Amino acid sequence: MNKISIIIPIYNEAETIRRVLSYLENMISKKIPYEVIVVDGGSSDNSLEQINISSNIQCIRSQKGRAKQMNTGAKRATGTILYFLHCDSFPPEHFDILIENEIKKDNEAGCFRMKFDLQHPLLFLSQWFTRFNHKSCRGGDQSLFITKKLFDSINGFNENCIIYEDNEIIERLYAKKQFVVIPEYLTTSARKYRKNGVWRLQYHFGMIHLKKRMGHSINSLQDYYNRNIV
């Protein structure tokens, strides 16, 4: 029987981690075995105090950096399916069954469609494109499921990527023709858009994608992100 390991990287997420863990407990079907692995990257707030450790929930520590944290979580995972989830993203009801159904169809990696928790015409357009199965329509906020076997075969996340780690691994999965988009919606927080401004942030995200296509280095992308995005 399949088992799903839900891996959530966090860093100073005291205000969000309890909410997502409670949400997952209510939305998961519990018809297949599961575990939740929260990977803390050295939080300086009281994030860890918000996590109620149980038979299904564990918290481990890692070096800071989402790629490093997710790889650490994957090494600890005992599931045949890995499900990487941002702590401010909320998958649809019975998401575990939806994922397992795709695995049974030999779709070894994929994500959900996405919508934001903020009404804005630009975000509406952005989320509309997530229905298309093309790598340019992907991002980490949509979450990522992948079989443990496939994850190990591609050596997991690239830990040199301080940003863009989700897109980088997704590009490798598309190259292997192993990606599917489940036609159900995950809701993600638009908190970064609220902080930076919708038009401003979307512009800078677009520039990062453009720079990546033009061959800019990982360090160049990170420097641009650090200079322009809060």
The full set of domain ranges for the chain reads: 4-119+131-189, 190-230
| Banded model confidence at residue 29, pLDDT cuts 50, 70, 90 | very high
Q: Which long-range contacts (CB under 8 A, 24 or more apart) does 55-61 make?
A: 57/21
- Give the pLDDT confidence score for residue 96 in this predicted structure: 98
What amino acid is encoded at 183 in this protein?
P
State percent of the chain over pLDDT 70.
Answer: 100
Between vectors from CA 93 to CA 181 and to CA 99, what angle results, nearest 5°? 40
Which 8-state DSSP code applies to residue 135? G
3-state secondary structure (DSSP) of residue 40: strand
3-state secondary structure (DSSP) of residue 181: strand
> Is pLDDT at 97 greater than 90 in this prediction?
yes
Between vectors from CA 93 to CA 31 and to CA 170, what angle results, nearest 5°? 95
Exposed/middle/buried for residue 27 (C-beta within 10 Å: 0-12, 13-18, 19+)? middle
Contact 55, 61 (CB under 8 A): no
Region 16-38: what's the mean pLDDT? 96
| Banded model confidence at residue 53, pLDDT cuts 50, 70, 90 | confident
Nearest of 182, 6, 180, 185 to residue 107 by alpha carbon: 180
Predicted TM-score (pTM) of this structure: 0.94
What amino acid is encoded at 160 in this protein?
N
The tens digit of pLDDT for each residue in 78-93 reads: 999 999 999 999 999 9
- Give the pLDDT confidence score for residue 54 in this predicted structure: 85
The tens digit of pLDDT for each residue in 175-212 reads: 999 899 999 999 999 999 999 999 999 999 889 888 98
What amino acid is encoded at 208 in this protein?
I
| Banded model confidence at residue 217, pLDDT cuts 50, 70, 90 | confident
Exposed/middle/buried for residue 49 (C-beta within 10 Å: 0-12, 13-18, 19+)? exposed
Domain 4-119+131-189 CATH class label: alpha beta
How far apart CA 199 and CA 33 sit, in angstroms, is 42
> Is pLDDT at 52 greater than 90 in this prediction?
no
Between helices 218-228 and 198-213, what is the axis angle to 10°? 170
> Is pLDDT at 164 greater than 90 in this prediction?
no
Beta strand 109-116 pairing with 144-147: antiparallel
What amino acid is encoded at 196 in this protein?
N
